[in-house]
Amino acid sequence: MFNLKTFATAATLGLAAPLAFAGSHSESGNPMVGGAEMFADKTIVENAVNSADHTTLVAAVQAADLVETLQSEGPFTVFAPTNDAFGMLQAGTVESLLEPENKGALTKVLTCHVVAAEAMSGAVVSMIEEGDGAAAIETVGGCMLQASLDGDMVVLEDERGRSARVTIADVKQSNGVIHVIDRVLLPAM
């Protein structure tokens, strides 16, 4: 299981070295996301609102009243699904989750994408390697994600056995880090 003390130790020892993940870095050292530069001195929310690829995620965070939380000090790791990832859900799912009466379910889905620590890609990969190819990561929503490698790509499996790939890693924020993923992670039902 993802252990915050183990993660902190790994990061302190320098095991959080860059790994081969998809996505390129801008001159500032942070990758571009959704056509926008991401600034390490801005919060997760301040950067996410500028990404053209994350308008659905931003709307969902607003509907779940999680903006203030994700603007707080953190640190947080957010596995951020793209608009295309939300589009892969069954027709009507996103619209249903955004209804006020489904705020609890929406909050559960969103918090299954958030870890209460700053987990850079190198630390995640180190945990996978130390776990003989897999690492369990607990989210703030109580979901258990299984992290593994597919070649040089980190893959996250949710509680339903669905897999998401990290397509852009290590988008540094003032209150944590974002890793862009290609599928929405869902809690067990």
Q: Which two tokens stand for residue 15?
A: 């095991």
Burial class (CB in 10 A: 0-12, 13-18, 19+), 82: buried
Residue of 125, 124, 140 lying closest to 185 (CA atoms): 140
Please tell me whether residue 97 adopts helix, strand or coil conformation.
Answer: helix
Average pLDDT over residues 19-28: 41
Average pLDDT over residues 19-23: 37
pLDDT per residue as tens digits for the range 139-188 = 999 999 999 999 989 999 999 999 999 999 999 999 999 999 999 999 99
Domains of the chain listed by start with CATH number: 4-181 (2.30.180.10)
pLDDT per residue as tens digits for the range 86-138 = 999 999 999 999 999 999 999 999 999 999 999 999 999 999 999 999 999 99
Q: Which two tokens stand for residue 40?
A: 């390490």
Supply the pTM of this predicted model. 0.84
